[in-house]
Amino acid sequence: MIGPHKRILVTGGAGFIGSHVSESFRLDGCEVVVLDDLSMGSRETLHKGIEFIEGDVRDVETARKAVKGVDAVIHLAARVSVRNSCDAFTDDASVNVIGTLSMLDACKDSGVKRFVYASSMAVYADSPEPTPIAETYACKPISPYGVGKLASEQYVRTICPEIGIEPVVLRFFNTYGPGQTLTPYVGVITIFVNRLLDGLPPIIFGDGEQKRDFISVDDIVTACALALESDSGGETLNIGSGVAVSVNQLANVLCEMIKPDLKPQYESAKPGELRNCIADITRAKRVLGYAPLGMVEDMLEEIIEHIKSTRN
């Protein structure tokens, strides 16, 4: 079991990150409840030993049913596309902000002791240099997605102490790993690999010299567990690798691995996307004992093989 928490609710638990978190907690001996509307996730990703509730986090009655008897909540459910939020900003805010408030409302008088909120690097202002930024860096989001995540962070930090719950805010950077759902907007590694397997070049928006911090989903799972185990209530923490990788570097390596005769194609940069965003993980190391293990270049072969296996 993860610290004192025997029964844990994972919202969005049938999605990419959520299914990894849910399974890890189950194997750790916890009772796991998943609340998911299956808009992005799949019921098939969940072990039969996990209690599943199909529903929308914005529905308070469904949320109250899900938190019944729960010790802790990992709130992952969200619309997760920076690019799509620029067009569908109403839906983005509805799910990401109202959905978070609905979960907080459901947690009142529920017995929940800790609420871990999955935030994003999108809350930060753009960085002029590809150097690691700490949690104190300017929070001036340039996308509706980032605005909603920052607003939800502030709601969590404000409301949780008022209702007797310890909040922990984890700011995830670019998460990758096997099992990521293919969409046109999220998961550049998954998008590039699928295009190359189709015999198509990866498309890079902008000059490709934008730097990203790629963090393994396994390290995200570890961070979520540590957020429950440690005396970390009230903290806001970057969860990344601390390593800068350019989109050009990534695309060129994947081309060489899959289709050496193909080269990336370039299109105009998209609004709302940060040019440089690398995590300073000093605080997460100190507070949680967090130490990322997966480096992106070491996991590309596994991701490629997993994607190949799902396409057969």
272 falls within a domain: no
Mean pLDDT across the chain:
94
Residue 312 has pLDDT above 70, yes or no: no
CA 78 to chain centre: 9
Higher confidence at residue 289 or residue 180? Answer: 289
Decide: pTM greater than 0.85: yes
56 falls within a domain: yes
55 falls within a domain: yes
- What pLDDT, on the 0 to 100 scale, is given for residue 86? 84
CATH no. for residue 137? 3.40.50.720
Residue 91 has pLDDT above 80, yes or no: yes
1 falls within a domain: no
The residue annotated as part of the active site, out of 117, 124, 137, 145, is: 145
Where in the sequence is the domain holding 49, given as residue range(s)? 7-173+216-242+278-293
96 falls within a domain: yes
Residue 172 has pLDDT above 90, yes or no: yes
Q: Write out the chain in H/E/C secondary structure.
A: CECCECEEEEECCCCHHHHHHHHHHHHCCCEEEEEECCCCCCHHHCCCCCEEEECCCCCHHHHHHHHCCCCEEEECCCCCCHHHHCCCHHHHHHHHHHHHHHHHHHHCCCCCCEEEEEEEHHHCCCCCCCCEECCCCCCCCCCHHHHHHHHHHHHHHHHHHHCCCEEEEEEECEEECCCCCCCCCCCHHHHHHHHHHCCCCCEEECCCCCEECEEEHHHHHHHHHHHHHCCCCCCEEEECCCCCEEHHHHHHHHHHHHCCCCCCEEECCCCCCCCEEEECCHHHHHHHCCCCCCCHHHHHHHHHHHHHHHHC
- Over residues 133-159, the pLDDT tens digits come to 999 999 999 999 999 999 999 999 999
Please state, for a pLDDT cut of 70, what percent of the chain lies above it: 99
Is residue 290 annotated as part of the catalytic site, yes or no?
no
92 falls within a domain: yes
Residue 1 has pLDDT above 70, yes or no: no
238 falls within a domain: yes
Residue type, 34: V
Sequence-distant (6+) residues with CB within 8 A of 26 are 32, 47, 49, 50
- What pLDDT, on the 0 to 100 scale, is given for residue 277? 94
Using pLDDT thresholds of 50, 70 and 90, give the confidence band for residue 183: confident
- What pLDDT, on the 0 to 100 scale, is given for residue 184? 66
> Domain tally for the chain?
1
132 falls within a domain: yes
